Homo-oligomer: A and B are copies of this chain.
Amino acid sequence: MTYQLHYWPGIQGRGEFVRLALEAAGADYVDVARAAEELGGGEDALMDDLAELGGPRAAFAPPFLVDGDLVIGQTANILLYLGPRHDLAPAAESGRLWVNQLQLTIADLVAEAHDTHHPVGMGLYYEDQKDEAARRSEEFRQQRIPKFMGWFERALEGGDAWLAGGAASYADLSLFQAVEGLRYAFPHAMARLEPDIPRVVALRDRVADLPRIAAYLASERRIPFNEMGVFRRYPELDPA
């Protein structure tokens, strides 16, 4: 069965966590909205599918995954579904809960990263909330990034190569993506912090070297970071 991933076609965003899992699994999937409009792609079709697929169980927002009759929304929920099906989560319940906990903490980090450029409202442009964004970003750079990354560093102190034991899980892929996003949006802050989080950096490198992930990152399927996604590079929000 071919999975259908439905997500904004022009950004990495939250959908990228799902893309990375599907790619690492070598899963058969279609990134629906990235197809040509005559083939059902595009943002208008995405909004139509969001409203219709699943009926009363339609998703609140992209990303959502369609697998046969199932329509699954919320990034962490999609990964909870995919993980055990593709050896991207431990077999034991305790391990699966831990991986879900890691993913939800990454989701919190991602939401806060988004709020650095949209603190006052997502319906407004960044240009209409630049002063507030500068205030929020200062706290994010100085306190929140070190707190989140320090927590992941500690989680890796158990000595295993991966966050949840002997094999890569979707949480490892997601931490890779979080580091990449933070490096893109806050390069100066990350350059200062990275000496303090060697295990996180090493994990990021291990994920990047996974053969399927390396192939994906080198392909055109990997959308470059840009200023429409969650992680945005506004130099004034990350002073040297």
Residues on A facing B (Cβ under 8 Å): 55-60, 70, 72-74, 76-77, 80-81, 94, 97-98, 100-101, 104-105, 108, 111, 115, 119-124, 129, 132, 135-136, 138-139, 143, 148, 151, 154-158
B contact residues around A132 at 8 Å (CB): 119-120, 132
Complex contact A123–B111 (CB within 8 A):
no
B contact residues around A104 at 8 Å (CB): 74, 76-77
SS of A interface (majority): helix
B contact residues around A76 at 8 Å (CB): 76, 104
Complex contact B77–A100 (CB within 8 A):
yes
Complex contact B56–A154 (CB within 8 A):
yes
Assess A155 versus B56: contact at CB under 8 Å? Given A97-B70, A100-B80: yes
Partner of A56, one of B80, B138, B148, B158: B158
Min CB gap A54→B, angstroms: 9
Min CB gap A45→B, angstroms: 20
A134, closest chain B residue (CB): B120
A138 to B101, CA, bound (A): 32
Top 5 A-B residue pairs of the complex, sorted by shortest distance between their CB atoms: A121-B139, A74-B104, A56-B158, A119-B119, A120-B135
A124 to B158, CA, bound (A): 35
A73 to B59, CA, bound (A): 25
B contact residues around A121 at 8 Å (CB): 135-136, 138-139
A222 to B156, CA, bound (A): 38
Complex contact B120–A60 (CB within 8 A):
no
Complex contact A74–B105 (CB within 8 A):
yes
A115 to B135, CA, bound (A): 14
B contact residues around A129 at 8 Å (CB): 135
